[in-house]
């Protein structure tokens, strides 16, 4: 069996961390990286050139997980919505012999606003990330009106089908 690197991208508050954690817990011999922690700075700005070091940190951790013979490595991050940043992270991985499966989670503006408010974030909901086109080859999953377990089941179907 070939190792799988599963990428989960999408707007803040779309459900990446929640779904990624549940997926990770549902597969034996798996590892999980919330890439947003590698970019945990204030103020946050994707255009801050210092954050390219965060890309290197993500590549390093993913390489270690893949080289440690985990069958499944789950990686969630809002920065994966940017194709250039995603490519930089993937190109920095030194591990070999693994397949990449990309997912983009999405929802309506109304749902995103509700989730944003439920999470208790201060300020206005930003829809910028929500309207970015998915990266080429990603499986797009609309999370509107779905429970977490429904999204996880749908993603598991795609992952298992490709294994």
pLDDT in tens, 39-56: 777 887 777 888 788 899
Q: What is the pTM of this model?
A: 0.93
Q: Please give the sequence-ordered ranges of beta strands (E in DSSP) within 47-121, or none if there are none.
A: 72-76, 98-106
Give the chain's domains with CATH numbers. Answer: 3-162 (3.40.50.300)
> pLDDT tens digit string along 73-113?
999 999 899 999 999 999 999 999 999 999 999 999 999 99
* Residue predicted with more confidence, 112 or 36: 112
The half-sphere exposure of 95 on its side-chain side, counting CA atoms within 13 A, is: 25
- Give me 140's structure tokens: 């797009």
């Amino acid at each position: 069996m070939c190792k799988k690197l599963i990428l989960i991208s999408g707007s803040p508050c779309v459900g990446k961390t929640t779904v990624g954690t549940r997926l990770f817990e549902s597969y034996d011999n798996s590892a999980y990286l919330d890439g947003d922690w590698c970019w945990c700075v204030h103020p946050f700005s994707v255009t801050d050139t210092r954050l390219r070091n965060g890309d290197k940190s993500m590549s390093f951790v993913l390489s270690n997980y893949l080289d440690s013979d985990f069958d499944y490595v789950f990686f969630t991050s809002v920065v994966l919505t940017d194709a250039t940043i995603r490519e930089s992270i993937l190109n920095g991985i030194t591990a070999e012999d693994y397949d990449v499966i990309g997912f983009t989670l999405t929802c309506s503006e109304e749902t995103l606003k509700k989730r944003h408010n439920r999470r208790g974030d201060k300020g206005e909901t930003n829809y910028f990330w929500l309207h970015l086109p998915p990266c080429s080859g990603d499986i797009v999953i609309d999370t509107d009106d779905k429970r977490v377990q429904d999204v996880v089941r749908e993603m598991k179907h795609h992952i298992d089908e490709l294994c």
